[in-house]
Amino acid sequence: DIQMTQSPASLSASLGETVTIECRASEDIYNGLAWYQQKPGKSPQLLIYNANSLHTGVPSRFSGSGSGTQYSLKINSLQSEDVASYFCQQYYDYPWTFGGGTKLELK
């Protein structure tokens, strides 16, 4: 199975700040990567797919980048509604696997 290592596990940032979350795959996943946001008690919501494509309706302050085994999610100008957990997921190979998650809090 492809292992997805996400960092940091938790992150505290101020409103308006830019934050970056990293995801490393145990092998090349050829941009088969998605990012999800999950608020407490809710289901995950798709943010980014194909490593850098913004899902419909997602604010443009979210962006994804990377290639090979290294990927990142950037949130520009952090808003209060961005407080959530974030997960990366690879869908290049079966079984599809997720990173351990990053819990983003406000400082």
Residues that bind another protein (CB under 8 A): 32, 34, 36, 42-46, 49-50, 55, 87, 89, 91-92, 94-101
Q: Which is nearer to another protein, 50 or 70 (CB)?
A: 50
The beta-strand segments (E) located in 28-99 are 33-38, 45-49, 53-54, 62-67, 70-75, 84-90, 97-98
Query: From the CB of 78, what's the least distance to another protein, in Å?
Result: 23
- Strand (E) or helix (H) holding 4: strand 4-7
Least Å distance, CB 101 to another protein, is: 5
Q: How far is the CB of 7 from another protein (least distance, A)?
A: 13
Q: What backbone phi and psi angles, to 5 degrees, belong to 80?
A: -60, -30
Q: Which is nearer to another protein, 34 or 75 (CB)?
A: 34
- Of 13, 16, 27, the residue nearest 76 (C-alpha): 16
Closer to another protein by Cβ: residue 16 or 95 = 95
